[in-house]
Amino acid sequence: MPSPPVTAAAAGTWKLADRTVHRMGFGSMRITANPDRELALTVLRRAVELGVNHIDTAAFYFSPGGTLRVGSGPTRYATELIREALWPYPEDLVIATKVGPGYDPVTGAFMQALTPAALRAQVEENLRRLGRDHLDVVNLRILKKPGHDSVAERFGVLAELRDAGLIRHLGLSNIRADHLDEAAAIAPVVCVQNSYGLDNNRQDDALLRICGERGIAFVPFFAIAGARREDGAGSDHDAALWDVAHAHGVTPHQVRLAWTLHQGPHVLAIPGTGDPDHLVDNIAAGALRLSPAEVARLDSLVVEDAAAPADGRQVDPAHRARTE
């Protein structure tokens, strides 16, 4: 008989403040791109069946492909799919969402919510679509700019909503270390969610270490896509990555996820997919144990990304949001 599938528990656990989650979670953006609504619901339910209790989403994750096209027909929101698939929610399920960016419902233009009223409206939209009276974790997502770009006012708004009971815990997304310092002076930060992977955005190695030292979860996206980023997972991998994959009888994508989890006990993975088979493979990567020599060999593949200056990558924000 075939062996039972690996569950998310194999990756171990981390405490997001008062909530314990498995380190292998699920990112919900890609389920909006699947024209088969029932398949999207099946993937979400299967993820929870396999032990996932940390789901990442955002108010700006909607179809087709996570973007809004005016006049393109019915829109599928990731938050609504999560509610339809999983309500009533399991007691241990933590849903982390993001506010900050959004789309103009009239023009479809990507924009940044800067006013207190706009941020509160996004929080209330998440509450409504998820069917919750509070949000477990809300990450302030920023469009990072070169130089000093303060998050104090926007994070302060979310801290007020936390004090009012609409939000349990706060996090940050797409930030630098100075943003973390600024926000932590206002309210506790339980997680940082940045683009990061084996060969992607490795200037954030230092930020990852800082989060570990402070007991803050570091939650990478693009962990599988790597340097391909918005283009998604590819098949062009370095020979060393293939060698490690072959040695363990797994795929290079699983090795990328395993490498991510090996970066520290505070690192949480949130790979997203609309394919049930890929979901099983992603979760199974949480059981993959790499040797120190294998981790070192993979680290040796890293090259500087000249297009990613430490003061902030300038990528089209709408394209970035679609593929986060």
| Per-residue pLDDT tens digits for 247-277 | 999 999 999 999 999 999 999 999 999 999 9
- Give burial (CB, 10 Å; 0-12/13-18/19+) of 2: exposed
Q: How many residues are listed for the chain in this entry?
A: 324
Tokens of 114: 């800067």
Output phi, psi for 287, to 5 deg. Answer: -95, -5
Band the pLDDT of 84: cuts 50, 70, 90.
very high
Catalytic residues: 61
Q: Following DSSP, what letter does each residue of 33-71 receive, concatenated?
A: G-S-HHHHHHHHHHHHHTT--EEE--TT-BTTTTS--TT
Helix ranges, the chain (H): 37-49, 78-86, 116-130, 152-163, 177-184, 205-214, 239-248, 252-261, 276-284, 292-299, 317-323
- Rounded Cα distance between 280 and 43, Å, is 10
Measured at the CA of 54, the angle between CA 211 and CA 51, to 5 degrees, comes to 125
Q: Domains (ranges, CATH) in the chain?
A: 20-306+315-323 (3.20.20.100)
How many whole angstroms separate alpha carbon 51 and alpha carbon 8? 5
Specify whether the CB–CB gap between 59 and 97 falls below 8 A.
yes
Q: What is the pLDDT of residue 189?
A: 98
Q: 264-301 burial string, b = 16+ CB within 10 Å, else e?
A: eebbbbbbbbbeeebbebbbbbbbbebeeebeebbeee
Cα Rg of the chain (Å, integer) = 19
Mean pLDDT of 139-160: 89
Q: What is the mean pLDDT of the segment spanning 227-251?
A: 78
What single DSSP character describes residue 2? P
- pLDDT value, residue 231: 52
Q: What angle do CA 260, 324, 166 make, to 5 degrees?
A: 100
Stretch 24-31: mean pLDDT: 94
Alpha-carbon torsion (124, 127, 131, 133), positive or negative: negative
Q: Which of 155, 35, 38 is nearest to 99 (CA)?
A: 155
Give the span between the Cα atoms of 165 and 210, in whole angstroms. 29
Longest dimension (CA), the chain: 59
Residue bearing the bigger pLDDT, 113 or 19: 19
pLDDT band at 64 (very low <50, low <70, confident <90, very high): low
* Closest by Cα among 13, 47, 56, 97 to 267: 13
Model pTM? 0.88
Query: How sure is the predictor about 26, in pLDDT bands with cuts at 50, 70 and 90?
Result: very high
CA distance 117 to 136: 20
Q: Which residues pair with 141 in a beta bridge?
A: 173
Q: Which pLDDT score, from 0 to 100, does residue 148 have?
A: 77
CB atoms within 10 A of CB 46: 17
